[in-house]
Amino acid sequence: MSVCFGVVGGGAWGTALAQIIATKSFDVRLWAYEPDTVDDINRHHENRQWLAGVPLSKRIVASGEVSFLSGCATLFLVPPAQHMRRLTHQLRPHIDVACPLVVCSKGIELSSGLLMHEVLAQTMPNNPVLALSGPTFADETARGLPTSALLACQDTDKANGLCEMLSGETFRPYVGDDVVGCLMGGAVKNVLAIGAGIVLGRGYGENARAAMITRGIVEMARIAQACGAKRETVNGLAGCGDVILTCMSEKSRSQSLGVRLGKGESLQQVLDSRKTVAEGVATAKSLFELAERKNIDMPLCRAVHDILYEGADIDDRVRQLMTRPLTVEQEPAQDNVRHIKRVR
């Protein structure tokens, strides 16, 4: 009997992951919410709504029924982060407790402030959990352009085994043991990308965007370490790598949203005109609340939150950021809270 993998989520990244797996000669069962997506994949071997123009392997079979995923050797979870809890509740009766779950969604749950592996600890508590994240635009990955990512699991033997199954000439996963850092990087980078887009849309220039990215990575490290992650993970593919891609490319949904905000559109106008989910919008709120609870100083991420949710004036927020008290650039590794030493 051949090994079958499951993918939960028929969007662009879920479809790209299914294609990666199928190119390794594994059968893939893909669950998708939209009936049109299911029909497209099964009849035309293409996801015309979310990944148009990419021919898909005939090893990929789609369904809108979660029971279809029963018996899969490994599940890749790729729904929007705010739907992870509901979907995994539905999945639980159909999935063996020995089946590894690979979190591929990027965000923090709004209602609880939990990362995705913490949500799974409540909804599917007995299954082993891994996390996959990195600089991975779906269309490039699906088309076979060179892509690297981090696959993290506390059980590195399990991560190594899955990496060996997935790796090939166009997809190279690296092994890590820092699930928190892997998932936090993927969440925070979307907020930073909105900020980078605002900077561009407002016409502040490339100097400002570079500063936004660099200091944003400092904020990512603060919140990640406060939650138990390693600084090395922030410096790697799931942190810096994903930030660079998402903040520097016009293909980024979060950055393009920020550009439109910077040009004067309201958040509602932007959201009403889009069919894709910009994870950074929800994450900006949940990240702000998490930083407040943990007393972590994140001025850039807070500015993005205030622009999105408080109607803050962009120019006023930039002036406030530029006139904050002077401080050292490199913080002591253990000093991640608001009593950071100031320059006299």
What would the two tokens of residue 102 be?
């690979």
Superfamily for the 4-177 domain = NAD(P)-binding Rossmann-like Domain (3.40.50.720)
- pLDDT, tens digit (0-9, with 9 covering 90-100), for 228-239: 999 999 999 999
pLDDT at residue 342 above 60?
A: no
Q: Say if residue 43's pLDDT is above 60.
A: yes
Q: Which residues contact 111 (CB under 8 A, 6 or more apart)?
A: none
Write down the pLDDT at residue 333.
61
Phi, psi (deg, nearest 5) at residue 48: -70, -25
Q: How far is CA 126 from CA 100, 113, 164, 303, in A?
A: 10, 21, 24, 39
Q: Which CATH superfamily does the domain covering 180-322 fall into?
A: N-(1-d-carboxylethyl)-l-norvaline Dehydrogenase; domain 2 (1.10.1040.10)
The pLDDT value given to residue 276:
80
Q: How confident is the model at residue 341 (pLDDT cuts 50, 70, 90)?
A: very low
Distance (Å, whole) CA 151 – CA 294 = 27
> Is 230 assigned a catalytic role?
no
Every domain of the chain with CATH number 1.10.1040.10 lies at 180-322
Q: Pick the range with the lowest mean pLDDT from 182-191, 260-269, 275-284, 309-318.
A: 275-284
337 pLDDT band, cuts 50/70/90, is very low
Determine the Cα–Cα distance for residues 37 and 276; give it in Å rounded to an integer: 14
Distance CA 142, CA 31 (A): 17
φ and ψ at residue 236, rounded to 5 degrees: -105, -160
Q: Given pLDDT bands bounded at 50, 70 and 90, which one contains residue 331? A: confident
**Residue 222 carries which side chain, given as an amino acid letter?**
R
Q: What is the mean pLDDT of the chain?
A: 94
* Pick from 136, 156, 108: nearest CA to 245: 136
Between 188 and 343, where is the model more confident?
188
Q: Strands across the sheet with 4-8, in order? A: 60-63, 27-31, 4-8, 74-77, 101-103, 129-133, 147-152, 171-176
Is residue 79 scored above 60 in pLDDT? yes
CATH 3.40.50.720 in the chain, residue ranges:
4-177
Among 24, 58, 106, 189, the one annotated catalytic: 189
pLDDT digits (tens, 9 = 90+) for 262-310: 999 999 999 999 888 778 999 999 999 999 999 999 999 999 999 999 9
